Structures are given as structure tokens and as C-alpha cells.
């Protein structure tokens, strides 16, 4: 049954593609979240150093 290999190929390609996409997204998300944390810390630091109006503006958004 040679046709079986086509069937197998089709389904494996679907799941490999989805898997790779998820891995890609996951890695991107991890990187972004690290960067976000870093920036938020930086902003908090800056806000503490600076006068109240900037603090209000920074924490409100």
C-alpha cells in the first residue's frame, strides 16, 4: 500500500508545522516578556527618581 505514505506524510506535515510554529511563538513570547520586565523595572526606577507628575503618568497607563 504505497498510498499509505502519502497519508502519513500529510498528517505528519500538519503536526510538525503546528509544533514548529508553537515553539517559535513560545520562544518569542519568552524573549518579549523578559524585555517587558526589564523595561517595567527601568520605568519604575525612573519614576521613583523623578517628580510625582511623571510617576502618575507612568503608573496610570
35 binds another protein (CB under 8 A): yes
Alpha-carbon 15 to chain mean position: 21
State the minimum distance, in angstroms, from the CB of residue 44 to another protein: 11
State the minimum distance, in angstroms, from the CB of residue 55 to another protein: 9
19 binds another protein (CB under 8 A): no
State the minimum distance, in angstroms, from the CB of residue 4 to another protein: 6
13 binds another protein (CB under 8 A): yes
Rounded Cα–Cα distance for residues 43 and 54 (Å): 10
CA dihedral 43, 46, 52, 54 (to 10 degrees): -60
Three-state secondary structure call for residue 54: helix
Amino acid at each position: 500500500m504505497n498510498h499509505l505514505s502519502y497519508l502519513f506524510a500529510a498528517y505528519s506535515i500538519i503536526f510538525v508545522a503546528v509544533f514548529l510554529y508553537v515553539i517559535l511563538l513560545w520562544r518569542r513570547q519568552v524573549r518579549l516578556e523578559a524585555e517587558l520586565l526589564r523595561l517595567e523595572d527601568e520605568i519604575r526606577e525612573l519614576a521613583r527618581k523623578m517628580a510625582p507628575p511623571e510617576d502618575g503618568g507612568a503608573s496610570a497607563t
